[in-house]
Amino acid sequence: MARPLRHAKTWVSSEGVDLENGGRVEEVTVCYETWGELNSAGDNAVLICHALSGDSHVARHDADDDAGWWEILVGPGRAIDPERFFVICSNVLGGCRGTTGPNFIDPESGRRFGADFPVVTVGDMVEVQRRLLDHLDIECLSAVVGGSLGGLQALEWAIRAPHRVNAAVVIAAAPRLSSQGIAFDVVGRNAIRHDPSFASGQYYEAAGPEAGLALARMLAHVTYLSDESMRAKFDPTRLQPRSIETGFESTFSVGSYLAYQGDRFVERFDANSYITLSTAMDLFDLGETDGKVRASLASATCRWLFLSFSSDWLYPPSASKQLADALMARSCSVTRCVIESSAGHDSFLLEEGMRQGGRMVSSFLSRPDGRDQGARAAHEPRSNPATNIFHAQRLDYQLIFRLMPKGASVVDLGCGNGELLTILRDRGHRPLLGVEWDAEEVVACVENGLSVIHADLDQGLASIPDRSFDVALLSQTLQSIVDVGGILDEIVRIGRRGIVSFPNFAHAPMREMFAREGRLPKGEGPYEYEWHDTPNRRFPSILDFQDLCDHRQLRILEAIYVDSRTGEEVVQDPNLKADLAVFALAR
């Protein structure tokens, strides 16, 4: 049996709950735990929503307490710190850890609900949580946070009660589970129901469907892993299984591992609750098409942080992207990151997966107004201050400011760690969005209080609506782009004005070096790389860029050319004398 929850509290709602798929629960008991204190303003509450196999015990309450299921994210010094937040987590409706579910007594029959417990949806779970928050006198949540089934609850909260949610952190979730994912759940539920000990769901006075539940858990556990993690974990010891007592096959190491997971799960979970909660996950559906997902999210107004994991095939990064794209289409404040992890869907519960994720959650929740409150200013240089056009006070920034309307909204394509966006924020520009491919730089942006999308510039801009920003900016990134013409078209589609800065590879020192030495010219800044390891894919000149704009029917509104060695603007023959160009464009 599962260990008792020493710090759990219960609250009983005498008001019945009419369920979305029909049926009614006349009285609901809610088991919940809290950490920290609600502040005088009542605005520091964070609701944690648990996954299918979780419960209210997110983290330890003291040194003598059992470990919680999300210690990597919740606790003193963690991303969700009870010293800063009033943290609440309740066992969901239909669960088996203290909240009304199939193992409760049906007041009409006088016996446990069992398989007669009505179908529960994620919406029903959120409705019960809403009543709990009313009981706790919490009018608005600083954030609702959850992974997997918990992520679905976070989505539902933002849709159902937008006035009560300031921010949503949605981890390893999707608009709906794929048919492949549902198929695994269907087989698992069938394994439970066809266990001879299931007894039509009324097994509470006997052993119960232990084999069926263990098999369901084993099957589900396969979906939580990845091929990469399974190969690393089991291939070296393929025929060296753990020595465990089990009735399941354990010839292979992966078999003994799954048997262990299944047997342990039976000790703490109820089979009817497993059926109830897995069905709720499968029923959650915001739509198949982008249009339907946008419609489902139409009421949501909060800030969003979406985290997904590279090896998660159950709720893949593409599903998280679909959610983020739907909200971006409505100009919502969205940050999205794909975290590199080999641990599959389970990444959100593991240190490997949440090392970067925890940093982002912490920073995201620390800035309820979206402003930078960090100790390090983003425009403190990360790059070598001895470089030329990439030094601490980058010369092109001042030129960009000259071409940018006062207070303009800006999307920075290839924003790096967000230093330029932070300067723009300090200058009064709103709203701001970054797009960046490097995940660590995405983390840095979030740590600096910025909204940022983790995406490849050559593929990830279609979700940004037409003319949704005053300025679309490409600063010192043109030379690394694959589809240069395509990115220029996107810049003038997204922004009313596009601003592009780039190094001029045709300026005099480069020409002279090539003519004199017969080798790829090298210099400072973007010219410092060897030919075989340069990140530069393109080597644009000012004349080449002007020709390309003409070919793609782009209007050059303004242009500034500078010799960055002297800091002087170049008027005569800039293609020869300037090493830096900044253009303002429009269609």
CATH for 395-586, options being 3.40.190.10, 1.10.1660.10, 3.40.50.150, 2.60.120.1440: 3.40.50.150
**Locus of tokens 């709602």:** 13
Helix and strand counts by DSSP (H, E) for the chain: 17, 18
3 state SS of 30: strand
Mean pLDDT to the nearest integer, 204-230: 97
Q: Where are the domains of the chain?
A: 9-183+280-366, 395-586
305-319, 381-395, 416-430, 516-530: least confident range: 381-395
**Catalytic residue chosen out of the listed positions 345, 379, 429, 454:** 345
Amino acid in the structure at residue 428: G
How far is the C-alpha of 27 from the C-alpha of 567, rounded, in Å?
74
Calculate the alpha carbon distances from 187 to 220, 275, 346, 502, 529 in Å.
Answer: 10, 11, 20, 56, 55
Q: How confident is the model at residue 1 (pLDDT cuts 50, 70, 90)?
A: low
Instruction: Based on the residue annotation, tell me whether 345 is a catalytic residue of this protein.
Output: yes
Question: Are the beta carbons of 54 and 60 closer than 8 angstroms?
Answer: no
**Catalytic residue chosen out of the listed positions 312, 346, 396, 563:** 312
Residue 531 pLDDT exceeds 60: yes
Amino acid in the structure at residue 203: Y
Any idea which fold 9-183+280-366 has? Rossmann fold (3.40.50)
Please check whether the two domains, 9-183+280-366 and 395-586, share a CATH topology.
yes
Task: Locate 232 and state its tokens.
Answer: 């690393």
pTM of this structure: 0.92
How far is the C-alpha of 493 from the C-alpha of 467, rounded, in Å?
6
DSSP secondary structure of 546-576? HHHHHHTT-EEEEEEEEETTTTEE--S-HHH
Burial 251-273 (b: 16+ CB within 10 A, else e): eebbbbbbbbbbbebbeebbbbb
Q: What is the pLDDT of residue 375?
A: 33
**Catalytic residue chosen out of the listed positions 53, 142, 148, 468:** 148
Round the average pLDDT of the chain to a whole number and report it: 93
Task: Locate 278 and state its tokens.
Answer: 């897995």
Q: How confident is the model at residue 76 (pLDDT cuts 50, 70, 90)?
A: very high
Q: How confident is the model at residue 377 (pLDDT cuts 50, 70, 90)?
A: very low
Instruction: Based on the residue annotation, tell me whether 312 is a catalytic residue of this protein.
Output: yes
Q: What is the pLDDT of residue 369?
A: 52
pLDDT digits over 548-586, tens only? 999 999 999 999 999 988 889 999 999 999 999 999 999
Mean pLDDT to the nearest integer, 283-299: 98
Instruction: Based on the residue annotation, tell me whether 7 is a catalytic residue of this protein.
Output: no
Q: What is the dihedral of CA 36, 42, 43, 47, to 10 degrees?
A: 50
Mean pLDDT to the nearest integer, 357-364: 97
Q: What is the pLDDT of residue 194?
A: 98
Q: What is the pLDDT of residue 373?
A: 36
